[in-house]
Amino acid sequence: MTLSLPAEWEPQDAVLLAWPHEESDWLPCIDIVEPVFINLIREIIRFEKVVLVAPDIEDVRRKLSSAKIALEQVRLYQIPTNDTWSRDFGPITVLEDGRPKLLDFTFNGWGLKFPADLDNQVTRRLHQANAFGDTPMMTCGLALEGGSIESDGRGTLLTTSECLLNANRNPHLTRQQIEASLSRLLGCRKVLWLENGYLAGDDTDSHIDTLARLCPQDTILYVCCDDEEDEHYPALQAMAAELQAFRTIDGQPYRLIPLPWPQARYDEEGYRLPATYANYLVINQAVLVPTYNDPQDAHALSAIGQAFPDRAIIGVHCLPLILQHGSLHCVTMQLPKGILP
């Protein structure tokens, strides 16, 4: 049997999203975050379908219809959620002998920081609702979030030790045991562990999708801080050195493309928010990039275009998303080709 975790840039059927609602932490800013989701859906359905879960789908249907969204491209499922971070509670899809198989890992609210009882059931409930047709699903006991791993589709996984080795996820497992689980469940043959790198305001314990991303042609896009006065400077410099030392599965160095550093953003209480351009989403024929009304937005679009020269690079305004400490990639989970009925 051959087993692999597809790269994000491989063909997709759809993107999974969870609608923000008033019983979630979005309540204080629901009026500014709903337009972000509408705009994100508008961009995705130019290229593929959207699978959307919400506690009240009729309310969402009305809002999408008012925004002139083509509803035939959106599949709505009435499922209760705690929050909107589909990247971390959505299914992780592997290819088993070329056929998709859904893995439903445990989502514990990034180490029991936030309620996650409903979110942890979303994949199962979607499967029960026939959202994935006859695609098989396996429930896994491992606590693992989609934002914590990056795959090149050829057996290499990129992750951070701060997240995967954190005692709040799988305290009973050693690094070697976690690597063995990743090999058994995802088919990976090589794990690249980043020991450095973080973003202030990040609740995920340094998810890799906020810091560095695997790209086609043995390329890595990574967050680069060139401000020596910034608190992130030492850790991100150390992370850059690690990336330079990494080698591909063929023993070659990676082509490294730095992403610019956006200006610091803070919430009303003065806490720094985790704005990052690494939190982009690759879809069919396009890359959707979070923008922050920042002078560096254009530079970020250009850098990501270097890594994905054959795709449209589309900026999506995501300043409201970082108010809840996430961004564009965090609220999405791609569903590879062959999943939807």
| Residue 111 maps to a domain | yes
Q: Are 51 and 127 in contact (CB under 8 A)?
A: no
Q: Does any domain span residue 341?
A: no
Residue 262 belongs to a domain: yes
Which segments of the chain have a pLDDT < 50? none
CA distance 83 to 37: 13
Instruction: Decide if 120 is inside a domain.
Output: yes
Percent of the chain with pLDDT over 90: 100
One-letter amino acid of 185:
L
Do 187 and 155 contact (CB within 8 A), yes or no?
yes
What is the rounded CA–CA span in Å between residue 299 and residue 46? 24
Query: Is 33 within a domain?
Result: yes
240 is a domain residue = yes
Provide the whole-model pTM: 0.98
17 inside domain: yes
Q: What is the DSSP string of 288-310?
A: EEEE-S-TTHHHHHHHHHHH-TT
At 339 the pLDDT is 98
280 found inside a domain: yes
Q: What is the structure's pLDDT at 115?
A: 96
- d(CA 15, CA 333) in angstroms, rounded, equals 6
- Provide the mean pLDDT of the chain: 97
Please report the pLDDT score of residue 101 as a whole number.
Answer: 98
What angle is formed at CA 233 by the lines to CA 230 and CA 236, rounded to 5 degrees? Answer: 140
- Contact between residue 151 and residue 246 where contact means Cβ atoms under 8 Å apart: no
- pLDDT of 175 reads 97
- CA neighbor of 150 nearest in space, from 11, 284, 291, 281: 281
Domain limits for position 209: 3-336
Q: What is the pLDDT of residue 19?
A: 98
Angle between helical axes of 30-44 and 57-66 (0-180°, round to 10) = 70
pLDDT of residue 53: 98
In this structure, are strands 12-18 and 219-223 parallel, antiparallel, or unpaired? unpaired
Domain count, the chain: 1
Please provide residue 6's backbone torsions phi and psi, each rounded to the nearest 5 degrees: -60, 150
DSSP letter for 121, please.
Answer: G
| Residue 104's CATH number | 3.75.10.10
